[in-house]
Amino acid sequence: MKKLLKFLNHERCQVLAILICAVVLFSGLCCQSKTRSVRDPSQRVTRLELMSEIQTFNAEVEARMLDLDRQDRVRKQLLDAFSLYSTTGQFNPAGIVPMLATLMGVAAIGDNVVKRRDIAKLNNVG
């Protein structure tokens, strides 16, 4: 033991340099880079986890854009039906059926969004 202490005392700079190199090498090779999460800034995520969050976010944005497109189609169908009625005085029942089906679809989507949000809140609380 005494020889080891004498050796460490004599070669302390080299031993310290080897230890520093080992720590730097370990942290550089084994530890992944992390950044704040998009969903929860209090958490830190790796590059792969961040890419997954971005893909999920993009999918949600796309779904919401499709929902807006559906709403615009319903609005256009309503306006077309009312403009037809106001200009001709005739009511087109064949145009009402697709419009009602679209309205029911939009209502179902809205209901699903609300339910998903409520379930997510319950899961986060519990």
Question: What pLDDT, in 10s, does the model give residues 17-44?
Answer: 888 888 877 776 777 788 898 888 899 9
As a whole number of angstroms, the distance between CA 67 and CA 106 comes to: 7
First-to-last C-alpha distance (Å) of the chain = 56
Give the closest residue to 51 by CA, choosing from 41, 62, 42, 39: 39
Measured CA to CA in angstroms, residue 25 lies from 12, 13, 34 at distances of 20, 18, 17
Task: Indicate the SS3 state at residue 35.
Answer: strand
Question: What pLDDT, in 10s, does the model give residues 52-77?
Answer: 999 999 999 999 999 899 889 888 88
pLDDT of 33 reads 81
